[in-house]
Structure 1
Amino acid sequence: MSSPVFDPAAYAAQLQDKTARLRELLAPFDAPEPQVFDSPREHYRLRAEFRLWREGEDRHYAMFAPGDKRTPILIDDFPIASARINELMPRLKAAWQASATLSFKLFQVEFLTTLAGDALITLCYHRPLDAAWQAEAEGLAGELGVSLVGRSRGQRLVIGRDYAEEELEVAGRRFRYRQPEGAFTQPNGMVCQKMLEWAYAALGERGDDLLELYCGNGNFTLPLATRVRRVLATEISKTSVNAALANLEDNGIDNVTLVRLSAEELTEALNEVRPFRRLAGIDLKSYEFGIVFVDPPRAGMDPDTCELTRRFSRILYISCNPETLAANIAQLHDTHRVTRCALFDQFPYTHHMEAGVLLERR
């Protein structure tokens, strides 16, 4: 992870540039003017990962410029990261500086925090972790008030929980999330909440069923499920599937069927190309899908999945890569038009942005 150039004074101009870029990408499709959802200027990133750089007997948090793994940028604080991460960084560093057991062959530290105030720290080692490490790590976790995971080759020792607990509010209802260590979560919590609210409003209150592809840990699934009759959701990551199932249960949401399939596999199932044992007992033909929600990886939807979405009168699409979003819209443009679009500034001070569109059949 390279460090963004932190310059709050330049934020407004950078956001204007991103808006112009999204507007240009969507111009061929006669998209409406995007709603723009900005980010806090600092302390917005809930996750951070640092390599450690050794100088003498001391180890320091370090980052590197892209393509350069030899010249460390030593870090004492990280203003784009959450206030909780900045509060924990010096205390954790002091702990490993004072303990040969904690610092020996420690090479990487990962922080996962939440708007709800929870924190999980992962310590990565080039050595086996023993009982002495466990004893010191348990004391450290208690002192810092965090859960802690120790990782080395073939080992994963958990002190406390192996997930952080988050709470996000959508339309006046609070949703609780388990965010597993090592799994994908949205890095900018405040902007994530704005994304959920936008998707909730764009979906609207419906009496039919929702198909969701790439559901992850249920980030969007939970609030969207309250707007429809039933949801069929798919996700390929086993860790994310388990987290999503726990999140559904924790929030008392019982109208979602979650299947561990990739979007490509579900496309084959709906096209009756081949059966899948993981769909045993699920009557796909009983669903009355009125809308599909997709939140694909940076590569966007593959052509077959994109064709699958064409069957739906409405396509709600969240994208972490507007270039592949534009390519997917181009494939669908002859049958669907963009009726809503939004820019979500998940990554201030970088060129990255997230976008959302609602496509409706012509």
Structure 2
Amino acid sequence: MRVDQIDTSQYQTLLDQKVKDTLELFKGLALPEHSVVASPEKHYRLRAEFRVWHQGEDSYYIMFDPATKEKFRVDHFLPGSELINQLMQAVREAFLANDILRFKLYQVDFLTTLSGEALVSLIYHKPLDDNWQREAEQLKTELNKIAPLNIIGRSRKQKILVEQDFVTEKLTVCGEEYSYKQIENTFTQPNGFINQKMLEWANNISSSLSHDLLELYCGNGNFSIALANQFNKVLATEISKNSVKCANFNLAQNGINNTVIGQSSAEDFSAAYFEGKPVKSLKEIDFNDYKFSTILVDPPRAGLDQDTESLVQKFEHILYISCNPETLAKNLTAITSTHEIADICFFDQFPYTHHIETGVWLRKK
């Protein structure tokens, strides 16, 4: 659905149909009673990207119709946070009045937070020079009247920071506040409200578990940090070097000292843990120090490969966070040969689309 055609009065009907369609994918699986967490009906997205279209003396934001690929103008972005919508207008007014900021401007990206911080990336088809930086610094000063904000300028082989390239998010989970550094161009959950609800769901389940937690695909430590206090120790892995650095920073910021982040793919970790194969990035981790009872996986849309399916089946408890019900259904068909589904919850991370986030807790039969 095009964002300029969203009808919020249809939200609940669309969500009910989405859940019904998703449950169809799980036919044949023994499911407990499911639960559903609805999203706010508008202003739920914390990040957005817009192309800039230049037409004579005017320039404005555009997006593309997902069905026809035709462009359409965007002056107001209903899914975007209220801060995104404020900044969209302020940034457009600024570049319309400033030839240096406007010339060859190709795209504008916004990253905002529930904590009220923001990052604006201006992407160009031209080299950026001192004149551009001077105007961008002035723009930052003006935009700081709206919110604490930083600017990034990008062009081919250039990245200019007007102070810094990250925001600090603050999430409240089961009454505890956690701080997360979120870097430009790294993955973050787009729907902050739903992210908090997913963390609370995982936290509540983990409160009944014990021993140590292994997490694969940990990103910037989103789940690791919120669940650390429920386990004796946590070992988390992530293949992205930048995300590992960010996760370690976040652990320190939150005073968490029972968690270790290792840079590794799920496949390499499995080979190191179960077969003893040497993995350089994991060489300083002594697996004998851990007594794992639970594994948490939050894989990309492709889901778990066959080796990782086999890996998770070795654990007493599995927490599986999925952004793709189709690959989740395939994985669950294999995993339920050894485990039963104890809880399933649907989180409407992406309103007005067919996408839905699913949390599943499985325990060994």
Which whole-Å deviations, capped at 9, do the CAs of 1:66-99 have from their partners, x for residues lacking one? 2655x32011111110000111111100110111
Give the letter for the 1:177 counterpart.
Y
The equivalent position to 2:315 in structure 1, one of 302, 312, 317, is: 312
User: Aligned equivalents of 1:247 and 1:138: distance in 2?
Assistant: 28
Q: Secondary structure at the match of 1:128?
A: coil
Is this contact kept in 2: 1:127–1:153, CA < 8 A? Answer: yes
Paired residues for 1:3-82 under 5 Å = 3=3, 5-66=5-66, 68-69=68-69, 71-82=70-81
Q: Secondary structure at the match of 1:28?
A: coil
Give the letter for the 2:36 counterpart.
V
How big is the shift at 1:32? 1.1
1:174 aligns with 2:173: no
How big is the shift at 1:59? 1.4
- Aligned equivalent of 1:131: 130
- Aligned equivalent of 1:344: 347
How big is the shift at 1:208? 0.8
Q: Secondary structure at the match of 1:9?
A: helix
Is this contact kept in 1: 2:34–2:343, CA < 8 A? Answer: yes
User: Aligned equivalents of 2:208 and 2:82: distance in 1?
Assistant: 37
Is this contact kept in 1: 2:232–2:258, CA < 8 A? Answer: yes
| Higher alpha-carbon deviation: 196-205 or 178-187 | 196-205
User: Aligned equivalents of 1:174 and 1:27: distance in 2?
Assistant: 38
User: Aligned equivalents of 2:75 and 2:90: distance in 1?
Assistant: 11
Give the letter for the 2:257 counterpart.
D
How big is the shift at 1:331? 1.0
User: Aligned equivalents of 1:5 and 1:336: distance in 2?
Assistant: 43
Identical columns (%): 48
Q: Secondary structure at the match of 2:22?
A: helix
The equivalent position to 1:232 in structure 2, one of 207, 223, 235, is: 235
Is this contact kept in 2: 1:203–1:316, CA < 8 A? Answer: no
User: Aligned equivalents of 1:4 and 1:62: distance in 2?
Assistant: 11
Give the letter for the 1:128 counterpart.
P
User: Aligned equivalents of 2:299 and 2:128: distance in 1?
Assistant: 37
Count of residue pairs brought into register by the alignment? 361
Paired residues for 1:156-235 under 5 Å = 156-235=159-238
Q: Secondary structure at the match of 1:175?
A: strand
How big is the shift at 1:159? 1.1
Unaligned 5+ runs, structure 1: none
The list of structure 1 runs, each at least 4 consecutive aligned residues, that deviate by more than 4 angstroms after superposition, is none
Q: Secondary structure at the match of 1:220?
A: helix
Q: Secondary structure at the match of 1:86?
A: helix
Unaligned 5+ runs, structure 2: none
How big is the shift at 1:206? 4.1
- Aligned equivalent of 2:105: 106
- Aligned equivalent of 1:270: 273
Give the letter for the 2:20 counterpart.
A
Q: 1:207 to 1:66 in 2, by over 3 A?
A: closer
How big is the shift at 1:361? 0.7
Is this contact kept in 1: 2:15–2:348, CA < 8 A? Answer: yes
- Aligned equivalent of 2:95: 96
Give the letter for the 2:247 counterpart.
A
Is this contact kept in 2: 1:53–1:72, CA < 8 A? Answer: no
User: Aligned equivalents of 1:334 and 1:210: distance in 2?
Assistant: 22
Q: TM-score, normalised by structure 2?
A: 0.96
Give the letter for the 1:80 counterpart.
P
User: Aligned equivalents of 1:207 and 1:359: distance in 2?
Assistant: 15
